[in-house]
Amino acid sequence: MGVFAMPSLGSDMEAGTLIEWLVKPGDAVKRGDVVAVVETQKGAIEIETFEAGRVHQLQAKLGQKLPVGAPLAVILAEGEDAPTETAGLVPEKAVPGTESEPPAAASIAEPAPLVRQFHTAPIPTSPVVSRSGDPVASPAARKRAAELGLDLSTIQGSGLGGAIQLTDVENAATKAPASPLPASVAEKADVTSSPADEMRRAIATAMARSKREIPHFYVNQTIDLSPASQWLEATNADRDPVNRILMGALFVRASVLAAGSVPTINGHYENDTFSPSIPVHAGVAVALRGGGLVAPAIVDADKLTLDETMDAMRDLVTRARAGRLRGSEMTKGTLTISALGETGAEAMSGVIFPPQVALVGIGAPQRRPWVIGTSVEPRNTVTITLSVDHRVCDGRQAARFLAKFETSMQSPEAL
């Protein structure tokens, strides 16, 4: 028998709000199945179970904000009898409450509740409801509704499939009565920060911890990008858009190959101990429109071809934008790759995501003079900066990573 508890989805996470159950009592589950969706500072995350069996009881209710470790459900192993006294299952550190009262929820005063909590009440008549139970609305509409204190479930959407657009919110605002806010919501509105604020706070916590605990050092190298650019151009010319590859996928693939040969930059550092990882779970920093970023991992990236790596990145970016990442993707990363994109600054010395021990920062490609033999030619170049945890790794190993990366990028057809 297992208690399915609120997982930690990062060192900075204290609590999450249960927004959707994807199972019900009696359902069979296997290891890795998504059983619930939890709203965190970094958006909605799908939570997987790590025990197989049958769902016996759902203990947490939708809309509850629960601390990490609080029990959410009881999962019985196949063939196991149901316990007679379920109250005894609740771990001691959580305060057992009545059914309508979330255990230990009262102890979480900060951070302020997410905007999403405003409409966790049943939404009986809403025409369009997403998987999470919220009405479908554009992020701009969602933001504006929160600013105005409007409940999205009361607004009729005019967008595709009844999705609520910004104009619908503006229209609803002009029609709303003079004092539309229930007192409880009005009170909360003063102290509630937006999802963007919550995201900023999560980044601040993780990055401050990183710079406090991890003695960073940096090595960088500018490499000739021309072979990769030319190969990519020729390869994509024969492909439909859906099968094209981005330079970013080559950077991820080259990083994964280099990580495979320099074990001291790939893994986790916890409790004063470094645990190298044999698989490379490549964290990919994804900037979110509207601000903030997340760095979900491509799990087992070392087993993927270049095309599969590209597919995985596309999937990850799409789900990151839609707020549909999985818990394992948020915690498994063993090395993060962060690229500035096609234009902009030429180099970036990034901050390592704890508990990882290195980060690959990739600048925007630049046209630069390049010495070949005794002549100088204009070439596309890119500067790679490896941020490294000095508790684990030294300069020589870090430099070896860059050398390996450069070698891979000179033979893109072998990536």
Partner 1 sequence: MSPNDIRTAFLEELVKVAPDIEPDTVGDDDHIQEDLELDSMDVLNLVTALHVRFGVDIPERDYPQIATPALAVTYLAKAG
Residue 1, helix vs strand vs coil: coil
Closest CB to partner 1 among 236 and 407?
A: 236
Give the binding range for partner 1 (CB under 8 A) out of 118-126, 193-201, 340-348, 377-385: 340-348
Task: Specify whether the CB–CB gap between 215 and 389 falls below 8 A.
Answer: yes
Residues in 283-312 at the binding interface with partner 1, rule: CB under 8 A: 287, 289-290
Whole-angstrom Cα distance, residue 228 to residue 244? 14
Map residues 318-337 to x or -, x wherever contact with partner 1 holds by CB under 8 A.
x--x----------------
Q: How far apart are the first and last CA of the chain?
A: 45
Q: Which residues lie closer than 8 Å to 216 by C-beta, 6 or more apart?
A: 210, 351, 352, 387, 388, 389, 390
Closest CB to partner 1 among 324 and 400?
A: 324
Burial class (CB in 10 A: 0-12, 13-18, 19+), 374: exposed
Q: Would strands 34-40 and 43-48 be described as parallel, antiparallel, or unpaired?
A: antiparallel
Phi, psi of 334 (to 5 degrees): -110, -15
Closest CB to partner 1 among 138 and 205?
A: 138
Q: How many CB atoms lie within 10 A of CB 375?
A: 7
246 in contact with partner 1 (CB under 8 A)? yes
Closest CB to partner 1 among 76 and 246?
A: 246
Residues in 92-111 at the binding interface with partner 1, rule: CB under 8 A: none
- Minimum CB–partner distance for residue 229 and partner 1 (Å): 11
Among residues 68, 176, 317, 399, which is the contact residue for partner 1, using CB under 8 A?
317
Q: What is the Cα 103 distance to its own chain's centre?
A: 26
By CB under 8 A, the count of residues binding partner 1 is 27
Among residues 75, 199, 228, 247, which is the contact residue for partner 1, using CB under 8 A?
247
Map residues 207-236 to x or -, x wherever contact with partner 1 holds by CB under 8 A.
--------------------------x--x
Whole-angstrom Cα distance, residue 73 to residue 55? 7
Q: Which residues lie closer than 8 Å to 140 by C-beta, 6 or more apart?
A: 165, 166
Give the binding range for partner 1 (CB under 8 A) out of 145-153, 245-253, 260-268, 274-282: 245-253
Task: Choose among 187, 387, 154: nearest CA to 285.
Answer: 387
DSSP strands (E only) in 164-226: 216-224
Residues in 144-173 at the binding interface with partner 1, rule: CB under 8 A: 165-167
- Minimum CB–partner distance for residue 254 and partner 1 (Å): 17
52 in contact with partner 1 (CB under 8 A)? no
Report CA torsion sign: 250, 256, 262, 266. positive
Report CA torsion sign: 327, 10, 251, 382. positive
Among residues 8, 138, 154, 410, which is the contact residue for partner 1, using CB under 8 A?
138
- Minimum CB–partner distance for residue 311 and partner 1 (Å): 12
Among residues 80, 147, 187, 342, which is the contact residue for partner 1, using CB under 8 A?
342
248 in contact with partner 1 (CB under 8 A)? yes
115 in contact with partner 1 (CB under 8 A)? no
Which H or E run includes 361?
strand 358-362
Q: Tokens at residue 116, please?
A: 């999403």
Taking CA atoms, 196 is separated from 26, 71, 224, 369, in Å, by 38, 28, 38, 41
- Minimum CB–partner distance for residue 290 and partner 1 (Å): 6
- Minimum CB–partner distance for residue 316 and partner 1 (Å): 10
Closest CB to partner 1 among 97 and 139?
A: 139
DSSP strands (E only) in 190-341: 216-224, 267-270, 273-276, 282-284, 286-287, 293-294, 297-298, 325-326, 335-339
- Minimum CB–partner distance for residue 273 and partner 1 (Å): 36
- Minimum CB–partner distance for residue 163 and partner 1 (Å): 9
- Minimum CB–partner distance for residue 364 and partner 1 (Å): 11
396 in contact with partner 1 (CB under 8 A)? no
Closest CB to partner 1 among 11 and 167?
A: 167
What does the binding site for partner 1 look like in residue numbers (CB under 8 A)?
A: 138-140, 165-167, 233, 236-237, 240-242, 244, 246-248, 287, 289-290, 313-314, 317-318, 321, 341-343
